[in-house]
Structures are given as C-alpha cells and as structure tokens.
Amino acid sequence: MGTPMTATVTPIRREAQPSLDPIMALVAPGMNAVNSVILARMQSDVPLIPELAGHLIAGGGKRMRPMLTLACAKLLDYHGERHHKLAATVEFIHTATLLHDDVVDQSGLRRGRSTANMIWGNSASVLVGDFLFSRAFELMVEDGSLRVLRILSNASAVIAEGEVNQLTAQRRIETSEERYLEIITAKTAVLFAAACKIAAVVAEREPAAEEALDSYGRYLGIAFQLVDDVIDYVSDGATMGKDAGDDFRDGKVTLPVILAYARANPADREFLREAIEGLRNEDEDLVRATGILRGTGALADTAARARLYAQRAIDALAGFPNGVAKAALTEAAQFAVARAY
C-alpha cells in the first residue's frame, strides 16, 4: 500500500522526451500473439458480446498492462509462451473494470470515443464486463498455476475493493491522503503489479525477482494514476480521450484536491467543499477550481509525487541485468510521468 511521501526529489531528467516506443518495439511479436488470444476469447454466439467488447478493446488503448507482462518476461529471458495467455488475461481484467467504471461514473467518453454504456446502455456494459471477467478466469485456470491464479484473482478482488472504497469516498472533501493512496493502489497499481509479477512466476524465478517486479509495477501504477489525476485538470478531451474535469464533476477527491484544500484560504476552501459536494459543477467552476489547484501548488506537487514513485519503480529494477528490456521498462516509467507536461 502506498504511504504519504514528501515531494522533495530531483525530477527524472532526460534529454529527449520519453516514449513507449522502446517497450512497444520490444514486445511487438508477443503482442501479436496476445491480440490473437484476445480476439479469439472475446467471441460469443451472442453477437452483442463481441460487438461491445470489441468497441472498447479496439478503442486505441496502449495496452500498457499486457505489454508490462511481456517486457518483464523479456527481462527474465523467458522463452516460453505461457505469458501470452496471461497477458491477455490481464487485459480482460482491465477491460472489464473499465466497462464497470464507466457505468458507475456515467462517463460519456473513453479514449476519445463514446463509451459502451452510452451506446448500448448500462445493463449491457455491466454484463459484458462480467463476461470478460469470466474469460479471464478461464485463461487463468488453463495456465494451470495455482500461484498465477492466486496473484490474478487476488488482484481482481482488490480492484473491486478499491472501486468500492473510492465510491464511498466520493464527494467527501475530508478524505485523507492516506485513504486516497489506498484507493489508487487498489484500483490501479495492484493490476500493474500483478501484470509484472506473473512474468517471474512463469519464468520460475526466485521470490526476490517476483517481489522486485511487483514493486516496479506497483510504484509505476501509482505514478500513472497520480499523473492521470493531474491531467484531469490541465488537459482537454482531445488530449485525454475523456471529458476534461470528469473527476471534478464526479466529486472525486484526488490528491490535487486534497493538497489544495489543505492549503487554500477560507473562501477557496469553502468553494472546493461545495464543488466536491456537487454544488459547483459548471464550466466556470472548473476554471476556478483549476486556478486554486495551480495557485496552491497542488498540481505541481502531485506531479512531483508522481516522479518520486516513478523513480522508485526504476530503482526496483536495480538488481536485474542491464539490457534492452530493462531500458524499455525504465523509459516506460519515465513516460508515465512525462505525460503531465
């Protein structure tokens, strides 16, 4: 679980803007195999299921989580094929949670396209999400490893707990930083961690390697979510692929809000309280809220916190040999935080 940290850290510096190109090139052949599994396993005699699932799966996502599984397998010099089905399993779990999340959040955009719930309705989205969860568990069982099954099934349960925890914290301005970190660790970072850790299991590596990859994925996931929470206030729908200010309008108490509320003057604190409680959700209110978050340094400090976690992720790889895979995983962590600029 993440713990509050002081954002006094030298930012990760690179001469060139980091990208996902190295990790995408590294895993390209494996991702072809993963995509074949995804395409085959999302089929059903009920036409709506592949139609709806395909809408989201083909929606332009980078498939970061399955790429991490494949890249970690490369890091460990694994030459088998088990990780292909397991990477597809990770993507099915992620996709299922997205379908459910969009229903809960009543989201209208996902990756720049209309969400499945907007097109087919909430009931269909929830049920197809359930179908994808079921497919994920079928793939886990086919792998035959109880350890893999334990890691991925536990991650699924923790994700659900994190979503419920977030729901109960919604519109509660008093939400603490500690609780916020618990929420994002559960709803985002745990699947990143599991995606990385299962590579060490299939490669039959020692527990230390499992834990190092778990730490890499966990810290990367936290950094990724922190940046997402900044981007919600500083980007636009075309860049984000979702409606700008969604978190603000949904009353989600993210780290930028927590920091700003602690630092703001009484009038701005009252405004933030009213906004999170749903009393101030017009476009001009979002502009004012963003101004408060900028003025108090909350956005900058959240981005700095993300860089700190990204560096922790990179540090977790220290025990592995240098090479193309380690460099690609390192740059993936750098890319995660560079998205905020």
Per-residue pLDDT reduced to its tens digit, 116-126: 788 888 898 99
pLDDT of residue 9: 40
Per-residue pLDDT reduced to its tens digit, 174-232: 999 999 999 999 999 999 999 999 999 999 999 999 999 999 999 999 999 999 999 99
Global pTM? 0.90
List the single range of 13-17, 54-58, 295-299 with lowest mean pLDDT: 13-17
pLDDT of residue 8: 40
pLDDT of residue 110: 65
Q: How many helices (H) and strands (E) does the chain have?
A: 17, 2
Give how many domains the chain has, as a whole number.
1
**Which CATH number is 66's domain given?**
1.10.600.10
Other CB atoms within 10 A of residue 32 CB: 10
Q: Which amino acid is located at 122 in the chain? A: N
Q: Is residue 14 part of a domain?
A: no
Q: Is residue 5 part of a domain?
A: no
Confirm if 235 and 112 have CB atoms less than 8 A apart: no
Q: Is residue 9 part of a domain?
A: no
Other CB atoms within 10 A of residue 285 CB: 17
**Residue labelled with tokens 């083909």:** 58
d(Cα 198, Cα 73) in Å, to the nearest integer? 9
pLDDT of residue 105: 73
Q: Using the predicted structure, report yes or no on whether residue 132 has a pLDDT greater than 50.
A: yes
Q: Is residue 6 part of a domain?
A: no
Kind and range of the H or E element at 113?
strand 113-114
Q: What are phi and psi for residue 235, nearest 5 degrees?
A: -115, -170
Per-residue pLDDT reduced to its tens digit, 28-47: 999 999 999 999 999 999 99
pLDDT bucket at 242, cuts 50 / 70 / 90: low
Q: Is residue 16 part of a domain?
A: no
Q: Using the predicted structure, report yes or no on whether residue 103 has a pLDDT greater than 60.
A: yes
Q: Using the predicted structure, report yes or no on whether residue 239 has a pLDDT greater than 70.
A: no
Confirm if 264 and 272 have CB atoms less than 8 A apart: yes
pLDDT of residue 60: 59
pLDDT of residue 2: 47
Q: What are phi and psi for residue 314, nearest 5 degrees?
A: -60, -45
**Residue labelled with tokens 């590579």:** 199
Strand pairing class (109-110; 113-114): antiparallel
pLDDT of residue 10: 40
| CA dist list (Å): 170 to 251, 276, 299 | 6, 8, 20
Q: Is residue 10 part of a domain?
A: no
pLDDT of residue 111: 60
Q: Is residue 53 part of a domain?
A: yes
Where in the sequence is the domain holding 237, given as residue range(s)?
21-154+161-338
Cα first-last separation, the chain: 27
Q: Which amino acid is located at 332 in the chain? A: A
Q: Is residue 118 part of a domain?
A: yes
Largest pairwise CA distance in the chain: 60
